[in-house]
């Protein structure tokens, strides 16, 4: 019996999952650099990258709606729906992020200059909601119980690690292109090296954990040996993880390797979301000895 | 308060797809939407292979997964136990399609003609169906689903698929009444729900195949 994956959440939703993760991840590293006092420029890149990325991601999501004019209803049922909860989390994140950015731009900047305690408070609050933004998407997918590939505690962790990693690489990319000296970027790249290794491990456990039920085995088959195998092995594993990892390890000191590695890693993050979405196979219906694949829809 | 339900006798179904066609005719659903469906499965190897059909409708679950995940409040359970989607409130996020274990939620973006090679506009029959669909409780870009033909039930008739079934494999009735035909069938003939592991407590029961 051939079981079918979902087909209604495609590139638009993948782009949202990716951009929301990247934006929140970049924000977290911006705050980290700011609090550590490593570099004002890098801190600003990270914090200012958060809002537009998450916002553009939300636009992709609105684009995917069947009735976009009703988008504002997304937060009407936060008591039961993870889309509702997520809408509140990302809205608060964007608001806090906007306030944080205001500390650095005219006309607020001159007024708030030196209000470091307030900025640090906003930063801590922002980091909490940034983690919410990175993690909730995995929980949201996991709430779709007939799709066992998504209903696992490792998915939020995978999305979290990937979001932090793509966020760090986005800062490294833009920072390098903007001419920030490499000594300031280097610590971020070293953190990202560890994140890439961690992501490989989490991805390995995530795929290993699919053995439990037949629909998630079918997902693993689809992802690792079926229609999505090219995207998975080439896009996610090779381009998204191994290339930036080896560039970090072998040529970490060069600007060109930071740019190339970051671009590859960021593209890999987008493809990872697409592969996870497209690999979501529905559980079969069971009646006695018979098992029925849900028709493709 | 009734809790409307179905009993589908798998011994009797021979897979003629009358339910699927009757649903289309009754509800004027567009191409790509089948609220009543027949799915086919096979087990075993020749010479002991078996084929069995599984007709499905919306299970009108007592604890519906689609309603839990719906972020807009468009999904509600009415006083008859029927899960309804409000056309004006649904934003088309398709989360319910991911959460429903039974494939009961379906969506189309627009009317795709059944006869793409035919010259000119839609033929009058299809144009009529399109108009009925657009004016009805469902529409484009929203999650649509079976409502056990409530417009017929309110007139005292059966859902269209029940009346159309030539094998008399489908029974419609009230689960909350222990003496209704379907309650008795479920008790006497070992009625079961599909995939109870999802914890939705469906109102559609099946009688075992041979």
Q: What is the pLDDT along chain B (210 residues), one digit of tens a residue?
A: 899 999 999 999 999 999 999 999 999 999 999 999 999 999 999 999 999 999 999 999 999 999 999 999 999 999 999 999 999 999 999 999 999 999 999 999 999 999 999 888 899 999 999 999 999 999 999 999 999 999 999 999 999 999 999 999 999 999 999 999 999 999 999 999 999 999 999 999 999 987
Indicate yes or no: CB of A71 within 8 angstroms of CB of B195.
Answer: no
Closest CA relative to residue A103, chosen from A126, A84, A129: A126
Alpha-carbon distance A236 to A261, whole Å?
Answer: 13
Report pLDDT for A252: 63
Sequence-distant (6+) residues with CB within 8 A of B123 are B115
Chain A with chain B: Cβ pairs closer than 8 A = 146
Q: How do residues A161-175 score in pLDDT, each as one tens digit?
A: 999 999 999 999 999
Report pLDDT for A88: 96
CB-CB neighbors (< 8 A) of A75 in chain B = 71
Q: Does A124 score more than 70 pLDDT? A: yes
Report pLDDT for A221: 96
- B90 has a chain A CB within 8 A of its CB: yes
**What is the arithmetic mean of pLDDT over A210-230?**
95
Report pLDDT for B120: 86
Indicate yes or no: CB of A81 within 8 angstroms of CB of B68.
Answer: yes
The sign of the dihedral angle between the CA atoms of B188, B194, B196, B199 is negative
CB-CB neighbors (< 8 A) of B206 in chain A = 287
Report pLDDT for A116: 78
Tokens of B113: 């003609």
Helices H, strands E: what count in chain B?
7, 7
Alpha-carbon distance B61 to B202, whole Å?
Answer: 4
Report pLDDT for A113: 67
- How many CB atoms within 10 Å of residue A191? 16
Sequence-distant (6+) residues with CB within 8 A of A190 are A248, A252
CB-CB neighbors (< 8 A) of B65 in chain A = 145
CB-CB neighbors (< 8 A) of A280 in chain B = 98
Q: Which residue of B has its CA nearest to A4?
A: B103
pTM value? 0.94
Report pLDDT for A3: 94
Q: Which residue of A has its CA nearest to B9?
A: A287
Report pLDDT for A151: 95
Alpha-carbon distance A104 to A113, whole Å?
Answer: 8
- A70 has a chain B CB within 8 A of its CB: yes
Label residue A36 by pLDDT band (50, 70, 90).
Answer: confident
Q: How do residues A190-215 score in pLDDT, each as one tens digit?
A: 999 999 999 999 999 999 999 989 99
Q: Please state, for a pLDDT cut of 90, what percent of chain A lies above it.
A: 79
- DSSP H/E element including B207: strand B204-207
Report pLDDT for A286: 94
Closest CA relative to residue A231, chosen from A10, A2, A8: A10
CB-CB neighbors (< 8 A) of B100 in chain A = 146
**What is the arithmetic mean of pLDDT over A278-296?**
93
Q: Does A111 score more than 80 pLDDT? A: no
First and final C-alpha spacing in chain A = 17
Provide the ipTM: 0.93
- B65 has a chain A CB within 8 A of its CB: yes
CB-CB neighbors (< 8 A) of A14 in chain B = none
- DSSP H/E element including A27: helix A11-36
Report pLDDT for A180: 86
Closest CA relative to residue A85, chosen from A127, A125, A47, A142: A142
Tokens of A16: 């949202």
CB-CB neighbors (< 8 A) of A140 in chain B = 95
Round the average pLDDT of chain A to a whole number and report it: 93
Alpha-carbon distance A48 to B185, whole Å?
Answer: 65
Report pLDDT for A258: 87
Indicate yes or no: CB of B142 within 8 angstroms of CB of A66.
Answer: yes
Report pLDDT for A179: 86
Label residue A114 by pLDDT band (50, 70, 90).
Answer: low
Report pLDDT for A57: 96
Residue A290 φ/ψ, nearest 5 degrees: -95, 140
**What is the arithmetic mean of pLDDT over A213-219?**
95
- B6 has a chain A CB within 8 A of its CB: no
Up-side HSE of residue A155: CA atoms within 13 Å toward CB? 25
Indicate yes or no: CB of A70 within 8 angstroms of CB of B72.
Answer: yes
State the burial class of residue B210 (Cβ atoms within 10 Å of its Cβ: 0-12, 13-18, 19+).
exposed
- B109 has a chain A CB within 8 A of its CB: yes
Tokens of B199: 């914890």
- B101 has a chain A CB within 8 A of its CB: yes
Indicate yes or no: CB of A66 within 8 angstroms of CB of B92.
Answer: yes
- DSSP H/E element including A13: helix A11-36
Q: How do residues A41-90 score in pLDDT, each as one tens digit?
A: 899 999 999 999 999 999 999 999 999 999 999 999 999 999 999 999 99
Q: Which residue of B has its CA nearest to A12?
A: B93
Indicate yes or no: CB of B73 within 8 angstroms of CB of A147.
Answer: no
């Amino acid at each position: 019996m051939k079981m079918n994956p979902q087909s209604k959440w495609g590139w638009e939703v993948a782009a949202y999952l990716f951009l929301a993760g990247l934006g929140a991840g970049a924000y977290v590293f911006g705050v980290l650099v700011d609090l550590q006092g490593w570099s004002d420029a890098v801190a600003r890149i990270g914090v200012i990258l958060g809002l537009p990325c998450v916002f553009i991601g939300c636009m992709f999501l609105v684009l995917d709606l069947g009735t976009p004019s009703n988008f504002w209803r997304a937060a009407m049922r936060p008591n039961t729906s993870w889309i509702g909860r997520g809408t509140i989390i990302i809205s608060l994140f964007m608001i806090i992020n906007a306030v944080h950015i205001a500390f650095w731009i005219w006309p607020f900047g001159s007024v708030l200059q030196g209000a470091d305690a307030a900025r640090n408070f906003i930063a801590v609050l922002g980091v909490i909601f940034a983690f919410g933004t990175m993690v909730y998407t995995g929980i949201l997918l996991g709430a779709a119980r007939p799709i066992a590939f998504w209903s696992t505690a490792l998915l939020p962790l995978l999305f979290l690690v990937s979001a932090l990693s793509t966020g760090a690489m986005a800062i490294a990319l833009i920072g390098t292109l903007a001419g920030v000296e490499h000594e300031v970027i280097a610590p971020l790249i070293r953190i990202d090296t560890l994140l890439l290794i961690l992501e490989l491990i989490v991805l390995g456990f995530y795929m290993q954990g699919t053995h439990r039920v037949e629909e998630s085995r079918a997902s693993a088959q689809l992802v690792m040996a079926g229609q999505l195998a090219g995207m998975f092995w080439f896009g996610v594993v090779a381009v998204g993880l191994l290339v930036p990892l080896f560039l970090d390890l072998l040529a970490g000191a060069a600007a060109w390797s930071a740019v190339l590695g970051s671009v590859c890693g960021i593209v890999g993050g987008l493809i990872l979301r697409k592969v996870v979405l497209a690999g979501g196979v529905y559980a079969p219906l069971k009646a006695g000895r018979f098992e029925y694949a849900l028709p493709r829809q | 308060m009734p809790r409307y339900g179905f009993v589908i006798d798998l011994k009797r179904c021979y897979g003629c797809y009358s339910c699927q066609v009757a649903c289309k005719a009754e509800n004027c659903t567009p191409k790509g939407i089948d609220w009543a469906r027949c799915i086919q499965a096979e087990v075993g190897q020749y010479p002991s292979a078996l084929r069995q059909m599984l007709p499905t409708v919306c299970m009108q679950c007592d604890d519906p997964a689609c309603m839990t995940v719906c972020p807009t409040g468009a999904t509600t359970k009415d006083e008859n136990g029927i899960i309804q989607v409000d056309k004006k409130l649904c934003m088309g996020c398709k989360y319910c399609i991911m959460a429903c274990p039974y494939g009961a939620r379906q969506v189309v973006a627009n009317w795709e003609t059944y006869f793409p090679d035919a010259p000119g506009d839609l033929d009058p029959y299809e144009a009529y169906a399109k108009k009925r669909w657009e004016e009805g409780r469902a529409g484009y870009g929203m999650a649509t689903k079976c409502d056990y033909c409530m417009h017929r039930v309110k007139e005292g008739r059966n859902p269209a698929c029940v009346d159309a079934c030539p094998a008399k494999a489908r029974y419609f009735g009230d689960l909350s009444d222990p003496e209704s035909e379907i309650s008795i069938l479920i008790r006497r003939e070992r009625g079961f729900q599909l995939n109870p592991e999802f914890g939705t407590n469906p109102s559609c029961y099946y009688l075992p195949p041979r």
